[in-house]
Amino acid sequence: MKSYRIACIPGDGIGKEVVPAGQAVLEALAAAQRGFRFEFSTFDWGGDWYRAHGEMMPAAGLEALRHVDAILFGSAGDPHIPDHITLWGLRLKICQGFDQYANVRPTRILPGIDGPLKRCAPADLDWVIVRENSEGEYSGVGGRVHQGHPIEVATDLSMMTRAGVERIMRFAFRLAQSRPRKLLTVVTKSNAQRHAMVMWDEIAVQVAQEFPDVKWDKELVDACTARMVNRPASLDTVVATNLHADILSDLAAALAGSLGIAPTANIDPERRYPSMFEPIHGSAFDIMGKGLANPIGTFWSCVMLLDHIGESEAARQLMQAIEKVTADPRLHTRDLGGKATTEEVTNAVCALLAQNDRLRVA
Ligand code: ATP
């Protein structure tokens, strides 16, 4: 029987609730499918680890993860630790250390979910946002001088490399090509940022020539926010820089009904390193420990994980179970206007997976 090694990093806040829920669902799926199993290892890195050790994860942490088949991540964020420490010390350390340069964020309005766009039919909103995940505005280049003095200067330099832009463009065109509409929107800001973003545009034109069957257009990032709201059906696959896609994908998640539903995958397309799957939301300390966290974003991330490791039939079954659960308003958590708890939603998904198994045996 095939066995997959999965590293679980719950991290902070509601990550500690949704990652065990994701693990429970993967276990239920493996029990129902019977063709494979999972070996989980959990790493308690994050804010508590920082308080005890002065770092978000151990220096040798990447080595401990290097040979797993995939990583299931919760969130990094703690009200008592500056955000740049929690982000750079854990999530970005893994993304950059494992060169997970493609961040993939699908968005759909799932059955039973009431999105805020009243003029939009659920089928109008079916996007995948591809975020450049290794450089750009989050490359970490910059510094501060004269700290605390009136002449203080601080810089954050956006670094774009030809190799980095080419590989993310190629990934996005390939993804667009694999989807039924074969439609890609390249998000830019080359009217105002006249060096790196102009190179970004030029590379899009060059890479497009390798994909003659993909229809593509270019959109300024500000105009793209309006297009997402006013003409959602005109978008399908979208590629954008690290910062632009970060913002656009939160908007996308909100337009799909809740931040609690949206999944994301940090992929190393060359498979030199493990890829990492996580809900798009953060630590949400305001609802932590109350059983209010919506685990659907984590479950959908598990669907992406299963697809990545090659278990696409299991991925399809899990997505089907998720959609059956969202279709039932009695199983909506508070962020969706319901009263269900994290545990109730998890149990419902697990029960549906077990039912599939019983149907198969019968
Ligand atoms: P961080 O600083 O780690 O990014 P945050 O609390 O600032 O965390 P998010 O966790 O992304 O930001 O979410 C903002 C709000 O959305 C939360 O305060 C919470 O009320 C709600 N929320 C986010 N995720 C979920 C979820 N899975 N289930 C229910 N509500 C959620």
Distance 73 CA to ligand 1 centre (A): 15
Per-residue model confidence as pLDDT tens digits over 96-118: 999 999 999 999 999 999 888 87
Assess contact for 172 and 129: CB atoms under 8 A.
Answer: no
Confidence at residue 122, expressed as pLDDT on a 0 to 100 scale: 84
Ligand 1 within 6 A of CB of 106: no
- Residue 359 pLDDT: 56
For the Cβ of 81 lying below 6 angstroms from any atom of ligand 1, the answer is no
Which residue, 170, 103, 233, is CA-closest to 186?
Answer: 170
Q: What is the pLDDT of residues 11-65, one digit of tens each?
A: 999 999 999 999 999 999 999 887 899 999 999 999 999 999 999 999 999 999 9
The whole-number pLDDT of residue 34 equals 78
Measured CA to CA, the distance from residue 347 to residue 336 in angstroms comes to: 18
Q: Is 261 in the pocket of ligand 1 (CB under 6 A)?
A: no
What tens digit of pLDDT does each residue of 37-48 get? 999 999 999 999
Q: Which atom of ligand 1 is nearest the CA belonging to 14?
A: 27
The two tokens of residue 182 are 């074969």
> Does position 179 have pLDDT exceeding 70, yes or no?
yes
Flag whether pLDDT at 317 surpasses 60. yes
The sheet carrying 70-75 orders its strands as 36-42, 2-11, 70-75, 275-279, 263-267, 102-108, 126-132, 237-240, 183-188, 215-220
Mean pLDDT score, 310-326: 96
The answer on pLDDT for 361 being more than 80 is no
Mean pLDDT, range 324-342, rounded to an integer: 96
> Which residues, 6 or more positions from 198, have their beta carbon under 8 angstroms from its beta carbon?
190
Residue-wise pLDDT tens digits, 81-101 = 999 999 999 999 999 999 999
- What SS3 class is residue 154? strand
Read off the pLDDT of each residue in 200-224 and give the average, rounded to a whole number: 98
Could you please state the CATH topology (level 3) that the domain comprising 116-255 is classified under: Isopropylmalate Dehydrogenase (3.40.718)
- In angstroms, rounded to a whole number, what is the distance separating the alpha carbons of residues 274 and 66? 6
Contact 298, 15 (CB under 8 A): no
Give the separation between CA 282 and CA 262, rounded to whole angstroms. 11
User: Could you identify the atom of ligand 1 that is nearest to the CA of residue 86?
Assistant: 3
| Per-residue pLDDT at 243 exceeds 60 | yes
Ligand 1 atom with the shortest distance to the CA of 279: 27
| Per-residue tokens: 5 | 């090694």
CA-CA distance, 59 to 82, in Å (whole number)?
A: 19
Query: Going by CA atoms, what residue is nearest to atom 21 of ligand 1?
Result: 284
Residue type, 266: N
Instruction: Considering the chain, tell me which residue range(s) the CATH 3.40.718.10 domain(s) occupy.
Output: 1-105+262-362, 116-255
pTM to 2 decimal places: 0.94
Q: Per residue in 246-255, pLDDT tens?
A: 999 999 999 9
* Residue 77 Cα: closest atom of ligand 1: 3
Cβ burial, residue 269 (10 Å; 0-12/13-18/19+)? middle
- CB 19 less than 6 A from any atom of ligand 1: no
What is the Cα–Cα distance from 256 to 249, expressed in whole angstroms? 10
Share of the chain above pLDDT 70, in %: 98
Domain 1-105+262-362 class in CATH: alpha beta
Q: What is the pLDDT of residue 44?
A: 96
Give percent of the chain above pLDDT 90.
91
Tokens of 49: 């680890």
Instruction: State how far the Cα of 205 lies from the Cα of 189, in Å rounded to an integer.
Output: 15
What is the predicted pLDDT for the residue at 118?
A: 79
In terms of Cβ atoms closer than 10 Å to its own Cβ (0-12, 13-18, 19+), residue 35 is: exposed
The finding on whether 264 has its CB within 6 A of some atom of ligand 1 is no
**59 alpha carbon – ligand 1 mean position (Å):** 28
Distance 286 CA to ligand 1 centre (A): 8
What pLDDT band is residue 360 in, cutting at 50, 70 and 90?
low
Please tell me the distance between residue 277's alpha carbon and the centre of ligand 1 in angstroms.
Answer: 17
Average the pLDDT over 267-295 and give the result.
96
Of the candidates 9, 75, 86, 87, which has an alpha carbon nearest to the alpha carbon of residue 283? Answer: 75
Q: What is the pLDDT of residue 352?
A: 96
SS in 3 state form for 115-131? Answer: CCCCCCCHHHCEEEEEE
Q: Are 117 and 333 in contact (CB under 8 A)?
A: no
Secondary structure letter of residue 89 according to DSSP: I
Atom of ligand 1 nearest to the CA of 12: 3
* Residue 362 scores a pLDDT above 60: no
Structure-token pair, residue 229? 């709201």
Q: Output the pLDDT for position 293.
A: 97
Whether the CB of 301 sits within 6 Å of ligand 1: no
Report whether residue 287 contacts ligand 1, using a CB cutoff of 6 Å.
yes
Q: What is the mean pLDDT of the chain?
A: 95
Give, using CA atoms, the residue closest to atom 2 of ligand 1: 77
Structure-token match 């995958």, residue found: 265
Q: Assign 358 a pLDDT band (cuts: 50, 70, 90).
A: low
Given this model, what pLDDT does residue 251 score?
95
* Selection from 215, 218, 262, 212 nearest residue 239 by Cα: 218
